[in-house]
Amino acid sequence: MFKKDKPIKELELITGVENINSEALEELSNGLGDDEDVENLIALARQREEIVGANANNNYIFSPICNKIIPSPNYNPRIDAVKYGVTNNKIDTITIHHMAGNLTVETCGKIFANPSRGGSSNYGIGTDGRIAGYVGEENRAWTSSSKYNDFRAVTIEVANNSLDPNWTVSEAALTSLYNLLVDICQRNGIKKLIWSDNKNDRVNHINGCNVTYHCDFGNTQCPGPYFKSIMPNIVAVVNNLLGGATPQPQPAPTVNPYKKPTATVKSGTKGESVKWIQWQLNTYGYGLAVDGSYGPATTTAVKDFQSKKGLPVTGNCDMNTINTLDNTVQPTPKPTLPSGTPDPYMDFSKAFWDFFRSLGMPEYGVAGLIGNIACESAIRPNNLQNSFENTLKMDDDQYTAAVDNGRYTNFVNDGAGYGLAQWTYSSRKKGLLDFAKQCKMSICNINLQLTYLAQELQTKYKGVWDGLFTAKSVVEASNIVLLQFERPQDQSVTAQQKRATCCQGYYDKFKGSVITTTFPIPGINQTVGVTNKSEVCSYPVKITAQLLNVREDAGLEYEVKTAYRKGTVHSIIEEKNGWGRLEDGKGWINLKYTKKV
């Protein structure tokens, strides 16, 4: 098919990317089956390349959540299946692959754009969580070394953020994978994913099994040990999001027979403490061998667990990780919000109304906006999209706190709707996060979010903003917001009526009312900055002890990260149980040994 002595050089020429490992080359080239007329198919792709190249905007069917489309000529129309001796060509199967390299979706797309590779996939997902479409779903991609599989499957290549031996993938990639799978299933009428550990079940679709591996058909490791270890969980998460029955990937835990560790257990350790950790990790579906040896697989699982729980990702089990793993222990109390931040569960409807009225927006316009926002978020600035509470295993407050204290770093790219407008897209979430940092406010601060919303409308959605000033009725204003700003999946007449009814309710409640709310952040046309000290929870303290330890979290049981000398001054941005979190990000100090200055 292709000569093994040349390919890497050739690939570097095609992609302009150096150092693509041979595994990635193997994975992304030649997804055709052994029993196929490869020469002929590649010749066909060469012809098609001219068409694809000449007409990149052709109407292939791709998921609407793709970040970009990079068309590949390496495919066969599914409707031609019978010409290739294949009878099943209705999409009813999912095949998840690993790229065997940390390629961007663009690099992967460049490889697939070349017909001489003989390889492609329907979709690719990068470590940054971005999704690209390569082969439209109406076509069979050349991915899994089996025409019988690929004529009925949607195939997805996912980038690896670590290579041999574990081939892990990033949290952002996983989140995008969940969302993409849900979308593919919904559009193709796949009610739920059905998994089996048995290759024969997968290949022959026994009991409706509809998830397959590349290694079921070709001589490859794909999708690698990490994906193999979490495949039951991926299936469970997707089914949960699809709203179907949720098969439990692991039997319900009884009691861990091993002794719980009482101190940090590090990677490389052997013994009962490791068995306790492995047993406990398996209750979260990691499928580890409980062998008492803290090797790479356990380390990878610990890192993944820490990342999912918003803990520092070290791969070592400190007491915080151990206690979080221990699902018999009550979860740690919810962190308190920085002082000066309004309770995110308050009824903000009047404040919302007053805010936009104070900007001169007419009552029809404000009603159209507030009713839609109420439908999106119940006007709760800390509202995390419900489906993500399951996938991220954090509730509204835990997510907000983890974003605020910097422990959760995937806010921008996780695709989770958050806040008043259920901001979802990365550019909009990044804007909100940057604004919060600039103002030194919690991400859920109502004033911050109102201001950000108004700024977005005034700058990026000028048509919506102007429309709200000229709307002649509540319904007109409501439709402007629904169809041009919120743009939810359901934009049917029924949905429009539902939103308009909600808007009318607010109109009836607040029309003619006097503005009674005062805002810490005044007029939104002024330059944004730290405008109101009372809103900002940040104050300087002087160290009074000779040497004061800075710890990982608020308590003596946490690891010492560094120490500060007597007389030095540091800023505190959050308080918890008598401890203060340092603005410099180093950790927490006991406030008993400090003095406010």
Residues that bind Zn ion (CB under 5 A): 97, 214, 222
Taking phi over 0 as left and psi of -120 to 50 as alpha, with beta for the rest, 379 belongs to left
Decide whether 222 or 373 has the Cβ nearer to Zn ion: 222
Decide whether 26 or 552 has the Cβ nearer to Zn ion: 26
CA distance 283 to 286: 7
Tell me the closest approach of the beta carbon of residue 129 to Zn ion, in angstroms: 20
Tell me the closest approach of the beta carbon of residue 218 to Zn ion, in angstroms: 8
Decide whether 112 or 465 has the Cβ nearer to Zn ion: 112
- Which residues contact residue 392 at a Cβ distance below 8 angstroms, ignoring those fewer than 6 apart? 308, 384, 399, 414, 416
Strand positions, DSSP E, 63-104: 68-69, 75-77, 93-98
CA distance 553 to 551: 5
Decide whether 1 or 378 has the Cβ nearer to Zn ion: 1
Tell me the closest approach of the beta carbon of residue 69 to Zn ion, in angstroms: 21
Tell me the closest approach of the beta carbon of residue 341 to Zn ion, in angstroms: 47
Handedness of CA 225, 226, 227, 231 (dihedral sign): positive
- Which residues contact residue 71 at a Cβ distance below 8 angstroms, ignoring those fewer than 6 apart? 52, 56, 58, 60, 113, 134, 135
Decide whether 164 or 584 has the Cβ nearer to Zn ion: 164
What is 431-484 written as a DSSP string?
HHHHHHHHHT--TT-HHHHHHHHHHHHHHTTHHHHHHHHH-SSHHHHHHHIIII
Strand positions, DSSP E, 195-250: 211-212
Decide whether 212 or 445 has the Cβ nearer to Zn ion: 212
Decide whether 97 or 152 has the Cβ nearer to Zn ion: 97
Instruction: Give CA separation, 285 vs 213, 252, 389, in Å.
Output: 19, 10, 18
Tell me the closest approach of the beta carbon of residue 102 to Zn ion, in angstroms: 15
- Helices of type H across 89-198: 105-112, 147-150, 171-188
Decide whether 124 or 335 has the Cβ nearer to Zn ion: 124
594: its two tokens: 């400090």
Which has the closest alpha carbon to 311: 285, 302, 296? 302
Tell me the closest approach of the beta carbon of residue 194 to Zn ion, in angstroms: 20
Tell me the closest approach of the beta carbon of residue 220 to Zn ion, in angstroms: 6
Decide whether 152 or 357 has the Cβ nearer to Zn ion: 152
Tell me the closest approach of the beta carbon of residue 155 to Zn ion, in angstroms: 8
Decide whether 212 or 549 has the Cβ nearer to Zn ion: 212
Tell me the closest approach of the beta carbon of residue 32 to Zn ion, in angstroms: 12
CB 100 within 8 A of CB 160: yes
Tell me the closest approach of the beta carbon of residue 24 to Zn ion, in angstroms: 10
Which has the closest alpha carbon to 415: 179, 185, 181, 243? 179
Taking phi over 0 as left and psi of -120 to 50 as alpha, with beta for the rest, 113 belongs to alpha
- Only one residue has tokens 């009836």, namely 508
